[in-house]
Structure 1
Amino acid sequence: MEKKMIDDKRIEIIMGNLLRFGVFLSALVVCTGSFIYLFQHGSATPQYRTFEGEPKRLTELHSILTSALNGRGRSIIQFGLLLLISTPIVRIIFSIIGFIMERDLLYALITLVVLATIMVGLF
């Protein structure tokens, strides 16, 4: 019983650090993208007469990654937001692995259902 408590505590610490790191990394990426965007387009005058939707490079994962690697500020911001969204999803996956390692299959199944629900909602 003592060993399980230590393992539970260790898993909680790892998950807490995972969430902190994910939020910090996404904030860093968004801030970097914001500085790049403001440096490139900070003096541009907004055009409010016509509505233009988001460009394709900001709505598809492959396009976001490609244009972010090319140094496009808005794409870097979008990538940072994707990192922020993926942080709790990674935590859920880590929880499933932890529950399986502890042989707690009921909680692993419940957490798997939560993950499936989130993924269906995203896609």
Structure 2
Amino acid sequence: MGKIKKITDYDMEQLIGQVLRYGVITSGMVAIIGGIWYLFQNGSAIPNYREFNGEPAGYTSLPGIIEGLKNGSAKEIIQLGVVILIATPILRIVFSLFSFILEKDKLYIVITLIVLVIILFSMFGGLSI
């Protein structure tokens, strides 16, 4: 039987750094792909700057973005890139929480849980999905 390697602080810092790096790269690539697709779909359209039209719900809610992705809408692909960018630091907090749990550092577990709950509540607390 092999030994189980203990995860060190350095290992966890490297993992969290990779999560942040790949999250930003992924979100950027998704947004660029959506932007290129948008130019193919609407590149010759002339915008009307005389009238203000607010964004429909498809751009402001996760179910709307997912529905737009099913239809191949370029704007929703760009919005998916933004959602991935927003999710990246939240994922970092989750990984930090696991790191503190492994270290059995109760104070930082509580602090990290409070931060995570505040962020999630601020994101989803007022939504009626």
TM-score, length basis structure 1 = 0.91
**Over residues 64-115 of structure 1, what are the superposed CA-to-partner deviations in whole Å (9 max), with x where a residue is unaligned?**
0121232111100001000000000011011111101110111011011111
**d(CA) in 2 for partners of 1:26, 1:16:** 15
Question: Could you say which residue in structure 2 is the equivalent of 1:121?
Answer: 122
**d(CA) in 2 for partners of 1:69, 1:31:** 18
TM-score, length basis structure 2 = 0.87
Question: Could you say which residue in structure 2 is the equivalent of 1:84?
Answer: 85
Q: CA deviation at 1:122?
A: 2.1
**d(CA) in 1 for partners of 2:70, 2:80:** 10
Q: CA deviation at 1:121?
A: 2.6
Aligned partner of 2:53: which letter? E
Q: RMSD over aligned Cα, in angstroms? A: 1.5
**Over residues 36-86 of structure 1, what are the superposed CA-to-partner deviations in whole Å (9 max), with x where a residue is unaligned?**
001111111111222111012111101101212321111000010000000
Unmatched runs of 5 consecutive residues or more in structure 2: 125-129
Aligned partner of 1:48: which letter? Y
Question: Could you say which residue in structure 2 is the equivalent of 1:7?
Answer: 8
**d(CA) in 1 for partners of 2:91, 2:71:** 26
Residues 18-57 of structure 1 mapped to structure 2, 5 A cutoff: 18-57=19-58
Question: Could you say which residue in structure 1 is the equivalent of 2:105?
Answer: 104
**d(CA) in 1 for partners of 2:103, 2:71:** 44
User: Is 1:73 aligned to 2:77, yes or no?
Assistant: no
**d(CA) in 2 for partners of 1:70, 1:94:** 33
Write out the 4+ residue segments of structure 1 that deviate beyond 4 Å after TM superposition. none
**Count of equivalent residues:** 120
**d(CA) in 2 for partners of 1:99, 1:33:** 37
